[in-house]
A and B are shown apart, each in its own frame.
Chain A
């Protein structure tokens, strides 16, 4: 069965510093991996996805993610954090045994960017 793990409940970073939000995955077959962000009282917003190709995927709002097959990781990164990046971040993987939009989400990581 497909799964993702987000080992950190919360990540704290100062504004202007680089940020990393960690995600590891477990899949049978080729992984389709995603990052979504959730702001308070809002639904999830798509940031980026990895399907195949370049291991560095660029997404919305200056975010990028690095796919590492040997470490089964898909960490979200941003070179310079903004206070407005503070939100809940979810890593997800497509469940190949289900419908096309069946994603398995991690438990989320709360990113807090201090001014």
Chain B
């Protein structure tokens, strides 16, 4: 186990709704990244937070937003859900550059 926990494990939403996914990072890790993994694909980088500031973003629209809290836990918010947002959302924390510890993910289904 990596020590990175995500909640919920599964979620079903309808198109147009909003969703919040949560991540508790491994103890001592101050950097959190979020990835989207569509079925049959590799993970795609959404954004990264370091000490509560976003410091890197992938090719995702502004309706994907996040937060990092003083205890380094994090949230991913997605507004105006679309069918294509259905995917496994992975949170990863790190204290060493590029060595990521992933959680088990949240499986989001948008109907």
- Residues of B contacting A100 in the complex (Cβ-Cβ under 8 angstroms): 31, 48, 56, 97-98
- How close is B100's CB to chain A, nearest CB, in angstroms? 6
Contact B92 A101 (CB under 8 A): yes
Contact A101 B104 (CB under 8 A): no
Chain A-chain B contacts (Cβ-Cβ < 8 Å), number:
78
Interface positions of B (Cβ within 8 A of A): 2, 4, 31, 33, 40-45, 47-48, 50, 55-58, 90, 92, 94, 97-105
Contact B45 A42 (CB under 8 A): no
- Residues of A contacting B33 in the complex (Cβ-Cβ under 8 angstroms): 99, 101-102
CB 8 Å contact bits of A5-41 with B (1 = contact, 0 = none): 0000000000000000000000000001010100001
Interface positions of A (Cβ within 8 A of B): 32, 34, 36, 41-46, 49, 90, 92, 94-95, 98-108
- How close is A88's CB to chain B, nearest CB, in angstroms? 9
Contact B99 A49 (CB under 8 A): yes
